[in-house]
Amino acid sequence: MEKSAQMFIAGEWCDGQNGSAEVVDPATGETVGAVALAGTSDLNLALDAADAAFKVWSLTSAFERSGLLRKAAGLLRERAEEIGRLMVREQGKPLAEAKGEVIGSADHIDWAAEEGRRMYGRVIPARAPNVQQIAYRLPLGVVAGFSPWNFPISQAVRKIAGALGVGCTIIIKCPEETPYSCAELVRCFEDAGIPRGVVNLVYGVPKEVSEYLIPADPVRMVTFTGSIPVGKTLGEIAARYVKRCTLELGGHSPFVVAEDADVDAAVQLAATLKFRNAGQVCAAPSRFYIHDTHYERFLDGFVAASKELKVGSGFEVGVQMGPLANARRLDAMEVFVADAVDRGAKIATGGRRIGNKGNFFEPTVLTDIPEDASLMVDEPFGPIAPVLPFSSLESAIEKANALPYALAAFAFGTSQKTVDQLSKGLEAGMVSINHFGIASPETPFGGMKESGYGSEGGVEGMDAFVTTKFISTLV
């Protein structure tokens, strides 16, 4: 597959003013093809198109917008196999995960399509009988979206569908590492009949594109998913130009197993969540705190489950974990392990790169790790799990809350007292107890502290794209 991913600007597929970059298959290291890179003339075209389209799309009835979005969702479902295959080639995850992501993303579009029809304003009782007061909720305008490579479709879809659902238009910069599946997502909106200029897709040098788009006049809202340092920079630019901003950044999620927990259920979920998408999930559990009484049993079960995982090309039947999505992550894993071992950590399983072709890394479990190891402080964003014992739930919660990030937290416990202590005590934008229960279209997804602000998903995710206009009339 030698192909070129084009941009989609003002309803046309086009190459970029700044040439192209190479796209690499993370399982083989081979070149898959190229991706177009935008220059300022491309971005200006996208800004003009999104601005012009906003004037029409924002006045299109919510009912009509909803119908077009639902059509796009249907096309995405129909094309799940084909798009999933593109994603495996450029991102590496197992095909079943890729297809699941595409199908789940169609649900996000359906949610935004329906919720967009419920952007109710309100009538506010006035102080005088001849005054009418109405608060309207209106689409903000042109949105600049920046989506990452770990979930090429589902991260982009939350931004596109949310914006379109309420009547905004969007310029989305999708990840240069995984452009092909993103392009096919946008093609679903095109084929559904979404008018030209409503969705514009660009790729480019990320810093150049964000620094150009965010200050640009028609852009009224910025939505970014990615790392904390980049999020802070984009948030600063947005603040300087008073642009609304949603930031979905990294985390370092604790996974707490209390004394009265169902340990076997905890082991099973830990292995599934930790190694999904090779650990490259912002809400993946990354610090495992296990009550003393269960520590050995949890560790044995978790290590056994990690060893059993089939690692390989995402196209291979039965593979449960693919390669890391890019060579940067592979290097980062090696540095995390070396630093931890230097500080006294023990490797219970894994710890090394697999082979010398592609970005494969062993599912890794570490013990005896000091709290100041970089793995305990910096988001691993990869398949490494530190496991630590604790003796009191209060101290585990304190450690769980000790970092400046607070995206997700997972916990196991059975008594009402334990569940109450965990759900109230764990500081995170999303707390999931005794199961994995986050990230559905109808629930808010977002972090506290340095993990970002605002939500994607749920009514909160739709609110991010609207502004309030209050009208008081003397009748």
The catalytic residue positions are: 248, 282
Residue 33 — left, alpha, or beta (φ > 0 → left; ψ -120 to 50 → alpha)? Answer: left
Contact window for ligand NAD (CB under 6 A) among 31-39, 120-128, 147-155, 356-364: 147-155
Q: Compute the least distance from the CB of residue 451 to ligand NAD, in Å.
A: 8
How far, in Å, CA of 354 to CA of 47, rounded? 45
Q: Compute the least distance from the CB of residue 177 to ligand NAD, in Å.
A: 8
Sheet of strand 12-14: strand arrangement: 12-14, 7-9, 199-202, 169-173, 142-146, 219-225, 244-248, 452-453
Q: What is the DSSP string of 346-403?
A: EEEE--SB-SSSSS-B--EEEES--TTSHHHHS---SSEEEEEEES-HHHHHHHHT-S
Q: Is 227 in the site for ligand NAD (CB under 6 A)?
A: yes
Out of 42, 97, 184, 379, point to the residue binding ligand NAD (CB under 6 A). Answer: 379
How far, in Å, CA of 194 to CA of 431, rounded? 37
- Give the residue with the Cβ less far from ligand NAD, 233 or 443: 233
Contact window for ligand NAD (CB under 6 A) among 34-42, 134-142, 148-156, 409-417: 148-156
Name the E strands within 236-331.
244-248, 253-257, 285-291
Number of residues that bind ligand NAD (CB under 6 A): 21
How far, in Å, CA of 20 to CA of 16, rounded? 7
Q: Compute the least distance from the CB of residue 439 to ligand NAD, in Å.
A: 11
How far, in Å, CA of 125 to CA of 263, rounded? 55
- Nearest by Cα to 349 from 336, 359, 360, 337: 337
Out of 66, 105, 150, 359, point to the residue binding ligand NAD (CB under 6 A). Answer: 150
Interacting positions 244-283 with ligand NAD (CB under 6 A): 248-250, 282
Q: Compute the least distance from the CB of residue 432 to ligand NAD, in Å.
A: 17
Q: Write the interaction track for ligand NAD spanning residues 192-221; mark x where CB under 6 A is met and - where it is not.
A: --------------xx--x-----------
- Give the residue with the Cβ less far from ligand NAD, 172 or 230: 230
Q: Please, is 240 exposed, middle or buried when counting C-beta atoms within 10 Å of its C-beta (0-12, 13-18, 19+)?
A: exposed
408 sits in which H/E element: strand 408-412
- Give the residue with the Cβ less far from ligand NAD, 175 or 322: 175
- Give the residue with the Cβ less far from ligand NAD, 110 or 450: 450
Out of 33, 116, 175, 204, point to the residue binding ligand NAD (CB under 6 A). Answer: 175
Q: Is 225 in the site for ligand NAD (CB under 6 A)?
A: yes
Q: Is 146 in the site for ligand NAD (CB under 6 A)?
A: yes
Q: Compute the least distance from the CB of residue 224 to ligand NAD, in Å.
A: 7
Contact window for ligand NAD (CB under 6 A) among 14-22, 38-46, 52-60, 242-250: 242-250
How far, in Å, CA of 207 to CA of 173, rounded? 11
Q: Is 148 in the site for ligand NAD (CB under 6 A)?
A: yes
DSSP class of 225: E
Q: Compute the least distance from the CB of residue 380 to ligand NAD, in Å.
A: 8
Out of 54, 57, 111, 149, point to the residue binding ligand NAD (CB under 6 A). Answer: 149
Q: Is 302 in the site for ligand NAD (CB under 6 A)?
A: no
Q: What is the DSSP string of 131-197?
A: EEEEEEEEE--EEEEE--SSSTTHHHHHHHHHHHHHT-EEEEE--TTSHHHHHHHHHHHHHTTPPTT
Asked if 315 and 88 touch (Cβ cutoff 8 Å), the reply is yes
Give contact residues for ligand NAD (rule: CB under 6 A).
Answer: 146, 148-150, 175, 206-207, 210, 225-227, 230, 233-234, 248-250, 282, 328, 379, 381
